[in-house]
C-alpha cells in the first residue's frame, strides 16, 4: 500500500509505483489521502499513477491537529479493510506520519522513502522535522537518499541492516519527465530568469512578506524577470500576492504541472526557493539555488557548491540574488551541475531491497518448516 497525499509525495512515489507495476510479485495499492486537492490532481494523471482509494480529507486552511485526526482514522480504516503486506510512506508530511501510524496500529510493517533527513531543530521546518523523526521510530525499512541521511539514522539507533542508501526518487522522476519532453517553460522573456517558489509554514506572514518585497526590488532592476508559480495555500497567497501584483517584470501563475515545471526549471537562470524537492532537482540541471530558509536538511547541495543557505531576511536575500546577477564569476562558480541526490535508480534499489527482505523471511520460514 503506497500512501501519498501532497504534491511532493506524488512526484517522489510515482517512480516507485511505476517500478512496482512492471515488477513481478508486486501489486501496488495507491491511497491518496487527499491532503492536497488541485495540486495533487494535476500530478497524478501525468505521472502515470492510478489511485485506488481517495480519502479527500483536505479542508480550506486545515489545522494540523484536525488533519491528523482525519488522516489517521481514514488511513487506518483502509489498512484494516485491505490488510496490505507493507505500507510505503514518503518524506515528512502529515500524510506520511499518519500513514506510518495507521499501519503500525495494525502491526503492518512500514517502509520509509527519503528517510534520515534532519535539521536538528524540531520547529524548523515545522512540522516536517517532527514528522520525519517520528516516522523513523515506526519504520522497518529506511530508504535514505544519501550517506549523510543514513548516518543520522545510525546515530538514532536504527540498526544498519534496516537502512539502505538509494538516492532520492525525485531524481528518477526528473529524468523520466525530461525524457518525455512534454513540458513547456513558463518564462516569456529575454531578461535573466528568476524562478521562485515559497510555501513553508514557518515563513508565512512577516518573513514571507519581506521576501516578496525583495522580489519586487529585484524585478525593479529591470534586467530580470521573476516567475512565481503560487502554492494554493491561502496563507501563502495572503503573504505574497499584495507585494507582487501589477509589476511588469513579475509573473505569478497557478502551480505548474510537473512537466512544465521541469521545463521551466531547465530554462531558468537562478532558483530562489524554500522547497525541499526543488532544492534536489535544481542541482541536477546546474541551476544555482538560493535556499530561503533558516535551516536545510539537504546540506549536500550547499557542500557541492550549487546551493546557498540564505535565510529569510529580506536584505540577505536581495544581496545574495544581486551577487549572482552582477558577478558572472560567482554565477559560473555556482552553476555547476552537481547531483548529490542520486543517479535516477533509487526506485529500483528500493524494490530490490523489499524483494531481498521478503526472501529472507521466506528462507527463515522454510528453514523453520524443514526443522
| Residues of this chain that bind ligand UDP (CB under 6 A) | 7-8, 11, 170, 197, 199, 229, 255-256, 258, 261, 275-278, 281
d(CA 56, CA 32): 8
Active-site annotation holder among 112, 193, 199, 249: 199
The angle formed by the CA atoms of residues 9, 231 and 177, to the nearest 5 degrees, is: 50
Phi, psi of 281 (to 5 degrees): -75, -40
Distance of CA 114 to the CA centre of its chain: 9
d(CA 82, CA 98): 17
Residue 261: which of ligand UD1, ligand UDP, none does it interact with, CB under 5 to 8 A by kind? ligand UDP
201 is catalytic: yes
With a CB cutoff of 8 Å and minimum separation 6, the contacts of 144 are: 114, 115, 116, 150, 153, 163, 164, 165, 166
Stretch that binds ligand UD1, among 12-20, 53-61, 144-152, 323-331 (CB under 6 A): 53-61
Residue 62: which of ligand UDP, ligand UD1, none does it interact with, CB under 5 to 8 A by kind? ligand UD1
d(CA 205, CA 334): 30
Cis omega before residue 202 (within 30°)? no
Check: CB of residue 170 under 8 Å from CB of residue 177. no
112 is catalytic: no
d(CA 295, CA 278): 15
With a CB cutoff of 8 Å and minimum separation 6, the contacts of 332 are: none
Residue 35: which of ligand UDP, ligand UD1, none does it interact with, CB under 5 to 8 A by kind? ligand UD1
Residues forming beta bridges with residue 270, ordered by sequence position: 194
DSSP secondary structure letters along 51-106: -SEE-----TT--HHHHHHHHHHHHHHHHHHH--S-EEEETTSHHHHHHHHHHHHT
Residue 229: which of ligand UD1, ligand UDP, none does it interact with, CB under 5 to 8 A by kind? ligand UDP
232: number of CA atoms within 13 Å, CB side?
17
Using rule CB under 6 A, residue 124 touches ligand UD1: no
114 is catalytic: yes
Alpha carbon distances (Å) from 283 to 165, 227, 262: 19, 19, 12
CB of 39 to ligand UDP, least distance (A): 7
CB of 42 to ligand UD1, least distance (A): 8
Residue nearer to ligand UDP on the CB measure, 131 or 275: 275
92 is catalytic: yes
Three-state SS at 320: helix
254 is catalytic: no
d(CA 148, CA 312): 25
Write the binding mask 77 to 116 for ligand UD1: x where contact by CB under 6 A, - elsewhere.
---------------xxx----------------------
Residue nearer to ligand UDP on the CB measure, 199 or 249: 199
CB of 27 to ligand UD1, least distance (A): 27
Q: How many residues bind ligand UD1 (CB under 6 A)?
A: 25
Among 22, 61, 107, 188, binds ligand UD1 (CB under 6 A): 61
Residue 36: which of ligand UD1, ligand UDP, none does it interact with, CB under 5 to 8 A by kind? ligand UD1
In the numeric block, the cell 539502505 is attached to: 164
Using rule CB under 6 A, residue 127 touches ligand UD1: yes
Active-site annotation holder among 7, 112, 231, 249: 231
Active-site annotation holder among 114, 172, 202, 260: 114
Residue nearer to ligand UDP on the CB measure, 13 or 165: 13
Residue nearer to ligand UDP on the CB measure, 79 or 195: 195
Using rule CB under 6 A, residue 68 touches ligand UD1: no
Using rule CB under 6 A, residue 293 touches ligand UD1: no
Stretch that binds ligand UD1, among 16-24, 32-40, 109-117, 186-194 (CB under 6 A): 32-40
**Interface positions with ligand UD1 (CB under 6 A):** 6-8, 35-40, 58, 60-62, 64, 67, 92-94, 127-128, 199, 201, 232-234
Catalytic sites, residue numbers: 92, 114, 128, 199, 201, 231
Amino acid at each position: 500500500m503506497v500512501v501519498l497525499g501532497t504534491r511532493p509525495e506524488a512526484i517522489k512515489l510515482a517512480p516507485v509505483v511505476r517500478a512496482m507495476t512492471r515488477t513481478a510479485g508486486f501489486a501496488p495499492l495507491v491511497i491518496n489521502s487527499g491532503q492536497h486537492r488541485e495540486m495533487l490532481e494535476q500530478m497524478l494523471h501525468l505521472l502515470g499513477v492510478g489511485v485506488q482509494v481517495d480519502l479527500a480529507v483536505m479542508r480550506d486552511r486545515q489545522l494540523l491537529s484536525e488533519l491528523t485526526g482525519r488522516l489517521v482514522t481514514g488511513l487506518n480504516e483502509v489498512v484494516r479493510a485491505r490488510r496490505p503486506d507493507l505500507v510505503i510512506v514518503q518524506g515528512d508530511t502529515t500524510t506520511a506520519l499518519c500513514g506510518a501510524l495507521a499501519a503500525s496500529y495494525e502491526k503492518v510493517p512500514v517502509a520509509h522513502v527519503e528517510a534520515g533527513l534532519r535539521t536538528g531543530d524540531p520547529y524548523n521546518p515545522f512540522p516536517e522535522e517532527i514528522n520525519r523523526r517520528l516516522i523513523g521510530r515506526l519504520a522497518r525499512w529506511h530508504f535514505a537518499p544519501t550517506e549523510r541521511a543514513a548516518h543520522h539514522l545510525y546515530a538514532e539507533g536504527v540498526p544498519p541492516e534496516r537502512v539502505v542508501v538509494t538516492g532520492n526518487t525525485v531524481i528518477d522522476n526528473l529524468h523520466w519527465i525530461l525524457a518525455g519532453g512534454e513540458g513547456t517553460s513558463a518564462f516569456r522573456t529575454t531578461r535573466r530568469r528568476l524562478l521562485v517558489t515559497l510555501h513553508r509554514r514557518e515563513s508565512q506572514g512577516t518573513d514571507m512578506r519581506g521576501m516578496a518585497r525583495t522580489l519586487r526590488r529585484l524585478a525593479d532592476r529591470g534586467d530580470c524577470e521573476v516567475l512565481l508559480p503560487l502554492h494554493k495555500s491561502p496563507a501563502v497567497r495572503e503573504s505574497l500576492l499584495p507585494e507582487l501584483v501589477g509589476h511588469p517584470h513579475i509573473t505569478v501563475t497557478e502551480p505548474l504541472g510537473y512537466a512544465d515545471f521541469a521545463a521551466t526549471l531547465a530554462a531558468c537562470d537562478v532558483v530562489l526557493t524554500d522547497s525541499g524537492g526543488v532544492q534536489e532537482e535544481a542541482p541536477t540541471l546546474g541551476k544555482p539555488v538560493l535556499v530561503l530558509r533558516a535551516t536545510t536538511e539537504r546540506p549536500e547541495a550547499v557542500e557541492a557548491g550549487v546551493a546557498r543557505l540564505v535565510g529569510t531576511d529580506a536584505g540577505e536575500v536581495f544581496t545574495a540574488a544581486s551577487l549572482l546577477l552582477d558577478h558572472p564569476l560567482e554565477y559560473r562558480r555556482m552553476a555547476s551541475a552537481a547531483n548529490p541526490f542520486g543517479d535516477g535508480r533509487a526506485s529500483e534499489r528500493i524494490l530490490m531491497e523489499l524483494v531481498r527482505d521478503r526472501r529472507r523471511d521466506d528462507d527463515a520460514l522454510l528453514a523453520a518448516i524443514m526443522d
